[in-house]
Amino acid sequence: MGETQPVFSNIHKIRVLWTDADPAGITFYGNYFKWMDEASYYLFKAAGIRWEEWGEKWGALGIPILSAHGDFSSPSKFGDELSVESFVSEWGNSSFTVTHRFKNGDRLAAEGYEKRVFCLGDPSNPETFKSAPIPAEVRKALGG
């Protein structure tokens, strides 16, 4: 990933549960992608942007993922508490990248990103789903 320094970030804590681990007690890699999605939600919430209000405020369907990536540095296990630091690391006109750093104590366990796009449209007609410029309020709240 790189050494991008966040302008605005949020730290979210995760406890690795029994159901998150494989038979050896090591976290199943797919959970990191679920946790990145959750951490993005908490990042926006910490910035005062509630996903539940997007349709009402901007006519938005949401911010679907265009791509996701993960690098795994050291294992986490059942019972570990992870700190996830999340921040927007790149801005486009309608898309942006959210980077997530998972730390297990002082060790980097994983780092990943989600590239998302701001979309408008009619929820009852998926054919209207289209990208649109990110609202200035959203960009400013997240340090863009």
**Which amino acid, residue 65?**
I
Please report the domains of the chain, with CATH numbers, ordered by start residue: 10-141 (3.10.129.10)
Element (H, E) at 82: strand 81-91
**Per-residue model confidence (pLDDT) at position 6:** 65
Q: What is the pTM of this model?
A: 0.90
Of the two residues 70 and 25, the one the predictor is more confident about is 70
Torsion from C-alpha of 26, 115, 86, 53, nearest 10 degrees = -120
pLDDT tens-digit series, residues 43-99? 999 999 998 888 888 888 889 999 999 999 999 999 999 999 999 999 999 999 999
**Per-residue model confidence (pLDDT) at position 5:** 61
**φ, ψ for residue 93 (rounded to 5)?**
-70, -50
Would you say residue 2 has pLDDT above 60? no
User: How many helices (H) and strands (E) would you count in the chain?
Assistant: 3, 8
Tokens 């209000």 found at: 53
HSE, side-chain direction, 13 A CA sphere, residue 77: 3
pLDDT tens-digit series, residues 93-138? 999 999 999 999 999 999 999 999 999 987 788 788 899 999 999 9
How far is it, in rounded angstroms, from Cα 2 to Cα 36?
Answer: 17
